Homo-oligomer: A and B are copies of this chain.
Amino acid sequence: MDKYRIINDSDEVARLFEIFFNYVRVLIEIPKSDQEYCRQLFQAVFIKKDTIIETEGSLHKYHNFIVSGHMRNFHHNTEGKEITTDINDGPRFFTSYYHFIHQTVSNENLQCVTDCELLCISREDVEKAANIGLTTKEYTERVLQYYLEQSKQRIIDLTTLTGKERYLKLMNKHPSILQNVPLTHIASYLGLNAGSLSRIRQELL
């Protein structure tokens, strides 16, 4: 079975875009004409569990929107250990922002932890859309700001909360992550040892 599969069925594609526009609408209203253009630029794909869609040491080509499923962002530290820096579920954009913006060789990997339905747009098409004067630019700014706000909160959590508190917070905000993503990755994301996380979970029973 293939790891990638382009979704062609028009009903399926329509369903994905409906979720996409519902998500985007919260941040910014998109005119009908722009929506039509989006349907041309984004490609709908199904990606199998565990597939890595962008790898370290390369230029990341796509800006990805998770319609359904779970993804993580990870890299290898100097000792070769995997460090998971981000985990999220759809619907939501999920990209290695810094490298996508700077067009520098990335040191990060984007992996679909579960089966995923994605809407992907290439870097060039993002720019094409921005040049035509679509609402893209404004939207990109908001996505960046949202990401910044998330990072800020995460720093506060890491400096002020205990491991147990961070775990509970994640459990409350994203219960589906706990049910779908291996605890090894969650431990790394929370800044905990796998064994320590296991102990924390035990204490909560």
Residues of A bordering B, CB below 8 Å: 77, 83, 85, 97-98, 101-102, 144-145, 147-149, 151-152, 154-156, 158-160, 188-191
Contacts and interface: CB of A to CB of B under 8 A. Distances in A.
Contacts of A149: 98
Nearest to A192: B159
B159 A191 contact: yes
Contact of A152 (B98, B102, B158, B190): B98
25 contacts: A83-B156, A83-B160, A85-B155, A85-B156, A85-B159, A97-B148, A98-B145, A98-B148, A98-B149, A98-B152, A101-B145, A102-B145, A147-B148, A148-B148, A148-B151, A151-B152, A151-B155, A154-B155, A155-B155, A155-B158, A158-B158, A158-B191, A159-B188, A159-B190, A160-B191
A181 B147 CA distance: 29
Contacts of A155: 85, 151, 154-155, 158
A93 to B, nearest CB: 15
Nearest to A166: B159
A83 B152 contact: no
For A159, A160, A188, the residue with the greatest tally of chain B CB atoms inside 10 Å of its CB is A159
Nearest to A190: B159
Contacts of A97: 148
A53 to B, nearest CB: 20
Contact of A159 (B101, B144, B158, B160): B158
